[in-house]
Amino acid sequence: MTEDQSGGGLPPAARARMAEIRRSGTWGSALSADEFSAIRSVGFEPVGQVLGAAVYNIGYTGGYSCPGAWAGYGGYVAPYRSITAVSGAGSLGSYNALVRTMYEARHKAIDRMSAECAALGGHGVVSASIEIGRFPAGGLEFKAIGTAVRAPGGVELRRPFTSDLSGQDFAKLIMAGWVPAGFVLGISIGARHDDWLTVNQTSWGAGNSEVVGYTDLVNQGRHDARTQLERDVSRLGAEGVVVSSMDMQVRDRECPMQEHRKDHIVEVTIMGTATVRFAGPRHPAPASSLAIMSLDPQRRQAARIKLGS
């Protein structure tokens, strides 16, 4: 029997593993040699590999109704334009319920990874990644994995930071006077009915022309994802974000409201590390110029002639 995992706490197996790592006096990591050297160069050291996971059953997703099937009775009777429904707006036909679940699952996995970091006495997690895979018994597994690091002699943080930056990029950030605040996400799913204009613009005889409906779908999805990313940054009290990846997937489906018609769905995901300034940049003092004298007699003679000596 194990304790309830409805919260972000660690299961007994994870607590036992953290205790074993502390007793052993050793550490493991997923860092390359270059990453390890970069982290050590700015006063940090690895304390262990950390993991957070959550398995979710995806039930109600939203998006069951069409956001624009009413547009001119499927687009053939009257030239009414369709609309784009994005999850952030929570409007009719949007996938707001699914996106909320995606956020909740990812944040829970990140929180559990952060809790393992705290159990090892770490100040934060670097080179973290989030993976999503199908669970054999059903549902989706959300997994966050990274390397916990600490600065010996540093003050204890109320909450360890999380970051998907590589060891080298983490070192550059510290040298520039910035510190990671946390892993942040921007997720949006948009849906749009293929209205009369979209059907005409994608027909064989349309020629080279913009498909206005698809352009609007992509723009609205990207904009909504950026808005959600900004909200995630504000949630952590950070000043900005270093974006590491932007992914967009587009698919179509049979319209649930109109036979023989299609809707298009776009899913946009943005991931990055929120950052906060803590000091001025640690730039080394500029080195003085170094005079170099050539050992080639002909070059020395040419230099004398040029200088007029």
Q: Using CA of residue 111, residue 117, residue 120, residue 123, what is the dihedral sign?
A: negative
pLDDT, tens digit, for every residue of 111-124?
999 999 998 889 99
Q: Is 291 exposed, middle or buried (0-12, 13-18, 19+ CB in 10 A)?
A: exposed
Over 80: is that where the pLDDT of 54 sits? yes
pTM score, whole prediction: 0.77
108 φ, ψ to 5°? -65, -40
Domain ranges of the chain: 12-307
Between strands 178-193 and 262-277, the pairing is antiparallel
Q: Which H helix or E strand runs over 277? A: strand 262-277
Per the CB < 8 A criterion, the answer to whether 62 and 98 are in contact is yes
Instruction: Find, among 179, 227, 229, the residue nearest to 43 by Cα.
Output: 179
Over 70: is that where the pLDDT of 48 sits? yes
Helices 167-175 and 33-41, interaxial angle, to 10°? 20
Between strands 124-134 and 161-162, the pairing is parallel
Could you write out the DSSP letters of every residue in 6-69? SSSPPPHHHHHHHHHHHHHT-------HHHHHHHHHTT-EEEEEEEEEEEE-----S--S-SST
| Higher pLDDT pick, 236 / 4 | 236
pLDDT, tens digit, for every residue of 204-234?
888 888 999 999 999 999 999 999 999 999 9
The whole-angstrom separation of Cα 130 and Cα 152 is 27
